[in-house]
Amino acid sequence: MDNQLYAVVGHPISHSKSPRIHSLFAAQTGEPVEYTAIQAPLDGFVRTVREFFARGGKGLNVTVPFKEQAWEMADQHTERARKAGAVNTLYQDSHGVLWGDNTDGAGLVTDLTINHGLELKDKRILILGAGGAVRGVIAPLLQTHPAELVIANRTAAKAEALARLFADDAWGITQLRGCGYEALTGAFDLIINGTSASLQGDLPPLADSLVGPDTVSYDMMYGPQLTPFSAWALNAGAATAQDGLGMLIEQAAEAFFVWRGVRPETGPVMVELRELVG
Ligand code: ATR
């Protein structure tokens, strides 16, 4: 069978690990997938997507800075994309309808619960940041039924607004609230960094008392070096510090499943990508 075309669209895109990940999934599953990276002009995302599907393309991943535009251009949204307010996976159905999905939150929760074996039910979870990256993972985190989910952000009002937006998803099971960093008290079981502060080598102002001996920290970023957040968590006494490479691979596996109906095994891909990233 001829290979079917998939791609990731972003700007910039040369750093993207997605072509490597999806090529490994294709080789492992025997699916006829050819996956490339496309850099869309900053003012030409919609045109790029239309051209791709007009050429017979089957599915796209969407990354920075186009996830909100992808949401806007999709004809239909999956429930999880609607909640996230952003789309990272696009595909056309047999009627030519353009569907927008979001696999980021599922990717994070799979990485936390399956790969790292964390039980989130009844736990105290803190998430740092209130931008698009955090919004995308709130509903899937709430589905694990933590006792508490606190969203903390430099601009407290944005965290409070996010908590209000997802109030119904807490089902009266999880205490969900938003606040500024100074209002945080007590130790958390899991602290997730969803801010972009690491990109500037920066760190939100966090008290060491947020970390206990069993605390797991998770930075949605990844790289060869410990991020400032992971270094802070370990220094404050966290049990382990995880990075977001697993989330990246799991969101890709979920997209592959959406497109192909086949779920790749992520373990071997994780090993290979870890060697690549350092
Ligand atoms: P993304 O799509 O990656 O979430 P975003 O929507 O621009 O990007 O959000 C960036 C997040 O990182 C925000 O929560 C931002 O805090 P503010 O809402 O107060 O701006 C947070 N952030 C960025 N740089 C930061 C820094 N140096 N210290 C603390 N928080 C930072």
Q: Is the CB of 130 under 6 A from ligand 1?
A: yes
Mutate to test the pocket of ligand 1, among 195, 203, 219 (most ligand atoms within 8 A of CB): 195
CA 169-160-194 angle, 5° bins: 80
Q: Which helix (DSSP H) or strand (DSSP E) does residue 38 occupy?
A: strand 33-39
Number of structural domains (the chain) is: 2
* CATH assignment of the domain containing 89: 3.40.50.10860
- 8 Å CB contact between 159 and 182: no
Residue span of the structural domain in which 12 resides: 4-102+246-277
Structure tokens at 114: 């399956």
Does 16 share its domain with 81? yes
Token pair 């192909």 is found at 260
Given this model, what pLDDT does residue 198 score? 86
Given this model, what pLDDT does residue 139 score? 97
Nearest residue (by CA) to ligand 1, atom 7, is 131
Ligand 1 atom nearest 67 alpha carbon: 2
Ligand 1 atom nearest 155 alpha carbon: 19
Does 152 share its domain with 255? no
Map residue 220 onto helix, strand or coil.
coil
Half-sphere exposure of 164 (CA within 13 A, CB side): 7
Catalytic residues: 67
Given this model, what pLDDT does residue 63 score? 96
Does 198 share its domain with 258? no
Does 26 share its domain with 113? no
Does 238 share its domain with 264? no
Does 86 share its domain with 201? no
Q: What is the spatial distance between Cα 87 and Cα 156, in angstroms, rounded to a whole number? A: 25
Given this model, what pLDDT does residue 278 score? 73
pLDDT tens, residue order, the chain (278 aa):
689 999 999 999 999 999 999 999 999 999 999 999 999 999 999 999 999 999 999 999 999 999 999 999 999 999 999 999 999 999 999 999 999 999 999 999 999 999 999 999 999 999 999 999 999 999 999 999 999 999 999 999 999 999 999 999 998 999 999 999 999 999 999 999 999 998 888 999 999 999 999 999 999 999 889 999 999 999 999 999 999 999 999 999 999 999 999 999 999 999 999 998 87
Does 56 share its domain with 117? no
* CATH assignment of the domain containing 162: 3.40.50.720
